Homo-oligomer: A and B are copies of this chain.
Amino acid sequence: MPDIRQQRIVLVGAGNLATNLGHALMQSGHTVAQVYSRTEESATALADRLHCAATTAIDGIFADADLYIVSIKDSALAEIAVTLTAVNPDALWVHTAGSMPMDTLPCRRRGVFYPMQTFSKQTIVEFRNIPIFLESSDADDMPLLRVLAENTSDSVYELDSDTRKHLHLAAVFCCNFANHCCTIAADVLSDKKIPFEVMLPLIDRTVEKLHTLTPLEAQTGPAVRYDTNVIDRHLHLLDARPDLQRIYEMMSKSIHVYEGREKREE
């Protein structure tokens, strides 16, 4: 196997994930040769951080790299995949999208390098404990991807596209939807001029419990026993917000259904 630290890597994309991944690669001794982004500002910003070249044109992407890591919006990925991989059809191309099948990349040697985390450009997170899920079309490319992943993270898994789709769906519930529950809470609080910060100890503890209990075991609240006294009063408080009433009712019913299922299985 070629020494992965000698490989020329091109990062296609300069968004939240690309920025964090670029940092993690640099910190683990890898060399990113070039960053591509449609927008000059993003390309330059990340290239400056990684001390490498930048380009905003697909035909400006280095054609002699060994590995291309494509980290762009899912919708853009499908659109430009053909043009992109034509830059160097014999190289290994991987994308970082949890929800996209590996076959989105129309080249021979393709793969997936999916670090499951919520990223922002402003905060560079520690990659060590971020699970990375790998897939490759050519078994010969897996050792290289594995070494690259293990150089940046302690939890590396191989996962096929179908299973990864479910993983990504689960992540949307855990991260995106759970966060939205907090957005709604902040909205309810702001009507009464209560700062959202008072919720943080409760939120921290809610998550802390998940390190020792299953989410089903950790569940509390009026919906567990479907306490209609409390539920009806809460729904009444939301009379001016039918959108939030529907979410409240649907989540409460779902909690109750899961509790009932659990009891029957005991």
Residues of A that sit less than 8 Å from B by CB: 16, 73-75, 78, 99, 116-120, 123, 125, 129-131, 155, 157, 163, 165-189, 191-192, 194, 196, 198-207, 209-212, 214-216, 218-223, 227, 229-230, 233-234, 237-238, 243, 246-248, 250-251, 254-255, 257-258
Contacts and interface: CB of A to CB of B under 8 A. Distances in A.
Nearest to A216: B183
Contacts of A229: 74-75, 78
Contact of A118 (B131, B157, B173, B205): B205
A178 B203 contact: yes
Given A75-B229, A202-B117, A243-B254, A182 B215 contact: yes
Copies in the complex: 2
A243 to B, nearest CB: 6
Given A173-B184, A183-B216, A250-B250, 20 more contacts: A117-B202, A118-B209, A119-B220, A123-B209, A129-B201, A131-B201, A157-B198, A165-B237, A170-B186, A170-B194, A171-B185, A173-B185, A175-B202, A175-B203, A178-B203, A183-B215, A186-B215, A243-B254, A246-B250, A247-B250
B180 A219 contact: yes
A244 to B, nearest CB: 8
A94 to B, nearest CB: 19
